Amino acid sequence: MSTTPSAPRLVRTRADLAAARAELPGPVAVVMTMGALHAGHAALVAEARRRAASVVVTIFLNPLQFTAGADLARYPRTLDADLELLSGAGGGPAADLVFAPSPDVVYPDGDPGVRVTAGALGEVLEGASRPGHFDGVLTVVAKLMHLVRPDVALFGQKDAQQLLLVRRMVRDLDLGVEVVAVPTERDPDGLALSSRNAHLSPLDREVALVLSRALRAGGAAAPEGASAVRRAARDVLQREPLARVDYLALVDPESLADVPEHFRGPATLAVAAHVGPTRLIDNLPVVVGARR
Ligand code: PAF
């Protein structure tokens, strides 16, 4: 496994990907991204390096998963900086191969008529606010798995619902890829790293800290039970009127159903809010009702 700083090989077509993939020693890990890479992605690549002999990173801004055209249009595009980060410059982990196709390479016939459907798990939380989003995510993840043919695929815990759905898709459709979760990377003040943070003004960024603060408050109340978790997190959110909360939910990590009041055990506390024009999400795994 080489970590010497050097630009990873960049391929843009299916044929070039297939030729480059054939030369990679296995096992092969893939980290799928939409670009605008940050330390959260670097953590995924670092974990990929630990688990595989070769690391492929895909950079593809998938139009199929954007429900609002404006959100797609303003998504940051930073390919040169992304390639620099993936070269291992600055001591970060390096990728061996980068697949950065254009939409017509991934969808040669335009929007696909046949898609992967996320089902009921894709209709709650993020899916309730962004109908069709997870069908778009799963369709491109399935396509990229077929194109890259990885042994292992790494996904961030920050997108907990996406991670759950990818796991379910791999199991339900027998895709034969090991899915590995990587914990959320945070700035020292708690803000979860996200490509969307690039849109935050200095004031927005201050406001955005309320998401992680609310999750920490909820997590601290976990020994007291589900109601206490929800109340503690909601109280923090209510003290920041500049954050427009989309949802705050304490859910079962597998079914994403709201946990009942007397529930004890592992749960996910998830939040989504608009801060200025930017929609942010975050979550925290908690153990509800555990003794201190
Ligand atoms: O998490 C993301 O960046 C995207 O949803 C993914 C998995 C790369 C699919 O486009």
| Ligand 1 atom at minimal distance to the Cα of residue 195 | 3
How distant, in Å, are the alpha carbons of 108, 153, 188, 245, 265 from that of 144?
14, 10, 33, 33, 35
pLDDT above 50 (res 84): yes
Does residue 168 share a domain with residue 128? yes
**Mean of pLDDT values over 231-240:** 98
The tens digit of pLDDT for each residue in 145-159 reads: 999 999 999 999 999
CA of 155 to the centre of ligand 1 (A): 9
The predicted structure's pLDDT at residue 81: 95
How distant, in Å, are the alpha carbons of 14, 17, 109, 187, 225 from that of 197?
32, 31, 33, 11, 32
How distant, in Å, are the alpha carbons of 28, 64, 147, 155 from that of 92?
19, 31, 26, 18
Among 182, 208, 235, the domain boundary falls at 182
The predicted structure's pLDDT at residue 5: 63
> What CATH number is associated with residue 250?
3.30.1300.10
**Mean of pLDDT values over 66-80:** 87
pLDDT above 80 (res 58): yes
**Mean of pLDDT values over 124-145:** 97
Task: Write the DSSP assignment of 85-122 as a string of letters.
Answer: HHTTGGG----SEEE---HHHH-TTSS-SS----GGGG
Does residue 229 share a domain with residue 152? no
The predicted structure's pLDDT at residue 2: 44
Does residue 201 share a domain with residue 94? no
| Ligand 1 atom at minimal distance to the Cα of residue 62 | 10
Does residue 213 share a domain with residue 147? no
Residue 86 placed within a domain: yes
Please tell me the pTM assigned to this model: 0.95
Does residue 148 share a domain with residue 61? yes
- Number of folded domains that form the chain: 2
Catalytic annotation on 41?
yes
253 is in which domain, residue-wise? 195-288
Active-site residue, selected from the candidate residues 38, 41, 133, 199: 41
Residue 2 placed within a domain: no
CA of 32 to the centre of ligand 1 (A): 6
Does residue 30 share a domain with residue 144? yes
Does residue 210 share a domain with residue 156? no
Among 153, 182, 211, the domain boundary falls at 182
CA of 118 to the centre of ligand 1 (A): 14
